[in-house]
Amino acid sequence: MVKVDNYILDEAEKLFMKFGMRSVTMDDIAKHLSISKKTIYANFKDKNELVLNMVSNMLIKDECNINECHAKAENAIDEIFLVMDFLKEMLSAINPIVFYDLEKYHNEAYKMMMNFHEVRIYSLVKAGLERGIRENIFRSDINVDILATARVAHINWVFQSDLVRSGKYSLYQVIEELTTHFLFGICTLSGHILINNYTNRSKEAI
């Protein structure tokens, strides 16, 4: 049986991801769930606590999905393509205003997300770079610390970018462009061949 607090979080997430945090009220959530607002407040003291718990759950799920990509991948480049497939599906359901609302109105949750990027995503990117070097598809002379830090900075910049917040480009479009640029900069000739192979595979899957 689904716990009430998890049910509230899952359903509130759908509303927040579609409309943003600021425009969705606790009344909206109660109406969407067909429960009383009192029931929500019995599980979460306020909207900020609800958002904080929701973001925490989302980050846990994101890390599990990325770890699954790592486990399934044939090599470090395949891993990046699998992560991009996951991001394409995940980000397509998120209104970019969510990240603006987090930063401005729920800063504790926003800082949690940034810390997750700087610690966990950094570690995952660094491990992926080291894997690629061992597999001779990433250049052996790259500085994995610098590039892992830069990759995290790229990701954080995307969420804050006017390119995305203005609606000119989607989150995925910007991340995909930066990822392609990043990959070609670190790959060996063997890696470049794999990029082309996986790019063609992705096009055939559409």
DSSP state string for 12-54: HHHHHHHH-STT--HHHHHHHHTS-HHHHHHH-SSHHHHHHHH
- Reported as a single tens digit per residue, the pLDDT across 116-172 is 999 999 999 999 999 999 999 999 999 999 999 999 999 999 988 999 988 899 999
Q: Looking at residue 206, what is its pLDDT?
A: 53
Q: Would 71 be classed as within a structural domain?
A: yes
User: How many structural domains comprise the chain?
Assistant: 1
Q: Kindly state whether residue 2 falls inside one of the protein's structural domains.
A: no
CATH number of the domain bearing residue 93: 1.10.357.10
DSSP string for 110-159: HHHHHHHIIIIIHHHHHHHHHHHHHTTSB-TT--HHHHHHHHHHHHHHHH
| Secondary structure element (H or E) that encloses residue 97, with its range | helix 97-105
Q: Judge whether 148 lies within some domain.
A: yes
Decide if 24 is inside a domain: no
pTM > 0.85? yes
Q: What domain range includes position 108?
A: 47-205
Residue at 16 is within a domain: no
Q: Is residue 29 part of a domain?
A: no
Residue 177 covered by a domain? yes
Question: 38 with 144: CB under 8 angstroms?
Answer: no
